[in-house]
Structure 1
Amino acid sequence: MTPAVPAVLAEIAGIAVRNADPSVHPADRASSLGLSAALLGMAAEVWDGMAARLFEENRAIRTLLARGPAIGLDFFDLASAADEDLRISSLKAANDTLRAALIELQARAEHRGATDLQAAIWAELVASTERRKLANSPA
């Protein structure tokens, strides 16, 4: 979820504090509470699956990075690593590092005309987008 779940929860806490003031107009309070309820629902859904999603994405990206030598890139350290720490913050940090390397891999694959690798990268990016969909997403 962007912004990150902790930031959303902090914002909702601020909304709750502001709406505790009796001078807040009832319509404003109702609007804020409705928005807070919607955000809490989304945050709960995202948070529940976030570790599994990041773990799966990290594994998929590492598999792609292992194909780097075919186009002149060595991502051995990244590709051979494993997610030992399953805290979301650690998984997210690894995901950020892996995605930066994936961008480099994609650029080199395009430059070298490695269409099979490009297709595999795009397939993972599509799968990654699908993993991030919320239950009530329109598409």
Structure 2
Amino acid sequence: MNPPVPNVLAELAGLLVKNAMPGVPEAERASDLGLSAALLGVAAEMWDRQAHILVEENRAVRALLGEPGEDADLRLSVLQAENDRLRGALVVAHAAAEATGDTARQDAIWAELVAATDRRRLSTAPV
């Protein structure tokens, strides 16, 4: 999830503190409450799925790059760091495929990027 769940939770904590103070206009308080509820719902959904998403993406990108390995450490920070590394390598591989005119490789990379987008789709997304 971007921004990361811990950052979203920290922002929500700040909204709660602000709205606990006297004198906050009711319209602002209501708006903040609605935003907080929506963000908590998104954070809860992504938090539950994030490790699974990252492991699937890392596996798929490793296969495209021909890299052996697997994710032994399932902490989100470690999975995300590996995902960032793999995606950087995928950008380089895609540039090389474009430079050499390897359309099959380009198509495979694009297919994974579409699949990654589908993996991250929220249950409340309209499409």
Tell me which of 28, 50, 68 is aligned to 1:80: 68
One-letter amino acid matched to 2:57: E
For the aligned residues, what is the CA RMSD?
0.7
SS of 1:80's equivalent in the other structure is coil
Residue 81 of structure 1: how far off its partner (Å):
2.5
Partners of 1:27 and 1:95 lie apart in 2 by: 41
Match of 2:8 in 1: 8
Q: Does 1:43 align with 2:43?
A: yes
Match of 1:25 in 2: 25
Residue 116 of structure 1: how far off its partner (Å):
1.0
Residue 26 of structure 1: how far off its partner (Å):
1.4
Normalising by structure 1, we get a TM-score of 0.89
Output aligned runs, 1:1-139, within 5 Å. 1-66=1-66, 79-139=67-127
Deviation beyond 6 Å, 4+ runs, structure 1: none
Residue 115 of structure 1: how far off its partner (Å):
1.1
How far does the alpha carbon of each residue in 1:83-109 deviate from its partner, in whole angstroms, 9 at most, with x for none?
110001000000000000000000001
How far does the alpha carbon of each residue in 1:46-95 deviate from its partner, in whole angstroms, 9 at most, with x for none?
111000000000000000001xxxxxxxxxxxx12321100010000000
One-letter amino acid matched to 1:124: E
Residue 10 of structure 1: how far off its partner (Å):
0.3
Partners of 1:120 and 1:27 lie apart in 2 by: 49
Gaps of 5+ in 2: none
One-letter amino acid matched to 2:120: R
Identity of aligned residues (%): 59
